[in-house]
A and B are shown apart, each in its own frame.
Chain A
Amino acid sequence: MIALHLRLRPSTRRLAVAAGAIALAAVVIAPLSSTDAAQQAGLPLLTDRLWFRIATTVAMFVALASAWNVIGGLAGYASFGNIAFFGLGAYTTGALVSNLRWAFAPALLAAPLVSALFAAVIGLPLLRLRGHYFAVATLGVGVAVGEVVNNLGPLGGATGLFLPILRSDLLFFYLMLGTAALAVAATWVILRSRFGFGLLAIRENEEAAAVIGVNTIFYKVSAFVIAAALTGLAGGVFAQWNSFINQENVFAVSDNVEMILMAVLGGAGTVLGPVAGAVVLELTIETLAGGGSAAVYSQIGLGVLLTVCVIFIPRGVIDFFGGQSRLSLGYLRRTLRETSA
């Protein structure tokens, strides 16, 4: 038996946690070196504009993947409609700021409310469907909402909606980071609550969940609403950050697929899985965005990697690095057997 023993020893593990904490602190604090006060004090500039753009995008996808994880990973309902919540949040903030001249702060707070309300309304009928049917129905909702918005004159129609430019890389980085932190914290709290156990029971076997006394309908809709609120908040931040929104940049189904990939590759149903998935995948995508023949080969490589991951470690990267199992041929064989039909 060949076993690679990738599972870390306790001492190594403590070191890894410390290194992770330092890296996270650096990411959170580094942007501050760009403020005028820091510059006058003579601190070296640790960041530049490109860094801000990438870091903000990564934070956004951490938020989106973690939010998706609440309905897709914990409750087991693979939603392809989360992009509708993102777009609705973006257009809520966008329309309030651009059409009604609201200040950004209240307009941003309205975004999660509208998305959550929409999720509550469509959740009741949609969450009666399961598996592929739910996936296809939510996909339809995502596309339909995008089309409706695209054809509404007051929302800019096909042209899109322009928001007055608010120039502050720092503000948007911290807003996205805050949204991501909120999504991760929400997952952590849910996983430790009675509500979280109920969601996991629903994911494992919905009839059994009902039999032990889980209010399945209420729980599913609640998970959907929480995911929608977090996703809508990210959408609201994006609208003002990008200062231009249209159907293509806030209702892209490919973004929905991306958040699912991130959550699933990292480890759906875990707290840190979607974070790891989002950071790694988004950084890879940003790196590959350059172009050239190397980028083409790298993209093929990414596709192959995704396929291999889905086949051999369908429970996600977190499962064998942090979980009970260790990466070995036995682990790969077992997961392959357990997850193939």
Chain B
Amino acid sequence: MSATPAAAMPEGEPLLEVRRLDAGFLLIPVLFQVDLDIWPGELVALIGANGAGKSTLLGALTGLVRVTAGQVVFNGRPVTGLRPEQTVAAGLVHVPQGRRLFGTMTVERNLLLGAYRRRDPRIREDLERILAYFPTLQDKLHRDAGTLSGGEQQMVAIGRGLMGRPRLLMIDEPSLGLAPKVVDRVMEVVRAINHDGTAVLLVEQDVVLALEAADRGYVLENGHVVMSGRAGELRHDPAIRKAYLGV
């Protein structure tokens, strides 16, 4: 264990509080006693090997995966076991692994569908604001999302998430299958979004990438949080360097 968690915690009320969370699928428990906190405006990385339970944790938070024990408090409200349409409305938005776009719909329609739960009149305005993060999408608004490149599709997926006006944006493996240069571009956007005030939970297998971008990090192994702390400290932790960086 490294980096005493207490020293790493920011001040004030956390935006997301996960306490002793168990979750999984019928007969297959995946997460055990997971504790995790995110403060407003933070960029937190969730790292771990393939199958550690990272995506399952995001699913459990949004209500796609069944929570069997523990509790989740978001923005002062208990959201444990709520269905996705309720957590989305509360501002907990998930950008799933593999983009999951509406492939034969236009980019614009994809983005607008991100605002599905909203009923306010500012949706068009937000579309313009969000497109500012992704200038390359501007002239592809009327193309089918499925015809875009991998990087552009990832941008659409993130943009669609932003259209839901998240307080916490949870992005699952944005670097998956992308060329290094494109990954840099995506990470730049993620940092910009975070810089503008949206808290981000970034799930990554690329540990260096995640810990370079994040303020703090959590390490998940076989469904347990085995380590947590400031990103800079985790990056230099001998155990992590050995397990994930091969040095």
Binding site for B on A (CB under 8 A): 194, 197-198, 200-201, 204-205, 207-208, 210-215, 338
Kindly name the residue among B94, B95, B102 whose own CB sees the greatest number of chain A CB atoms within 10 A: B102
- Cβ–Cβ < 8 Å partners of A210 in chain B: 64, 84
- Nearest residue (CB) in A for B110 is A208
Q: How far is the CA of A212 from the CA of B113 in the complex (A)?
A: 7
| B64 engages A205 (CB within 8 Å) | no
Taking the nearest CB of chain B, how far is it from the CB of A159, in angstroms? Answer: 46
Taking the nearest CB of chain A, how far is it from the CB of B196, in angstroms? Answer: 21
| A213 engages B84 (CB within 8 Å) | yes
Could you list 17 examples of A-B contacts with CB < 8 Å?
Answer: A197-B116, A198-B116, A201-B113, A201-B116, A204-B102, A204-B105, A205-B102, A207-B64, A207-B100, A208-B96, A210-B64, A211-B88, A211-B95, A212-B113, A212-B114, A212-B160, A213-B85
| A215 engages B96 (CB within 8 Å) | no
- Nearest residue (CB) in B for A206 is B100
Partner of A211, one of B96, B103, B104, B105: B96
Binding site for A on B (CB under 8 A): 62, 64, 83-85, 88-89, 93-96, 100-105, 113-114, 116-117, 160, 164
Taking the nearest CB of chain B, how far is it from the CB of A279, in angstroms? Answer: 27
Taking the nearest CB of chain A, how far is it from the CB of B54, in angstroms? Answer: 16
- Cβ–Cβ < 8 Å partners of B101 in chain A: 205, 208
Q: How far is the CA of A194 from the CA of B85 in the complex (A)?
A: 13
Q: How far is the CA of A204 from the CA of B116 in the complex (A)?
A: 15
Taking the nearest CB of chain A, how far is it from the CB of B25, in angstroms? Answer: 13
Taking the nearest CB of chain B, how far is it from the CB of A197, in angstroms? Answer: 7
Taking the nearest CB of chain A, how far is it from the CB of B102, in angstroms? Answer: 4
- Cβ–Cβ < 8 Å partners of A207 in chain B: 64, 96, 100
| A201 engages B102 (CB within 8 Å) | yes
- Nearest residue (CB) in B for A202 is B102
| A215 engages B85 (CB within 8 Å) | yes
- Cβ–Cβ < 8 Å partners of B85 in chain A: 213-215
- Cβ–Cβ < 8 Å partners of A197 in chain B: 113, 116
| B103 engages A213 (CB within 8 Å) | no
- Cβ–Cβ < 8 Å partners of B64 in chain A: 207, 210-211
- Nearest residue (CB) in A for B88 is A213
- Nearest residue (CB) in A for B97 is A207
- Nearest residue (CB) in A for B87 is A213
Q: How far is the CA of A338 from the CA of B104 in the complex (A)?
A: 10
| A212 engages B164 (CB within 8 Å) | yes
| A212 engages B104 (CB within 8 Å) | no
Q: How far is the CA of A207 from the CA of B95 in the complex (A)?
A: 11
- Cβ–Cβ < 8 Å partners of A338 in chain B: 104
| A211 engages B100 (CB within 8 Å) | yes
| A213 engages B100 (CB within 8 Å) | no
Kindly name the residue among A204, A205, A211 whose own CB sees the greatest number of chain B CB atoms within 10 A: A211
| A213 engages B96 (CB within 8 Å) | no
Q: How far is the CA of A210 from the CA of B93 in the complex (A)?
A: 11
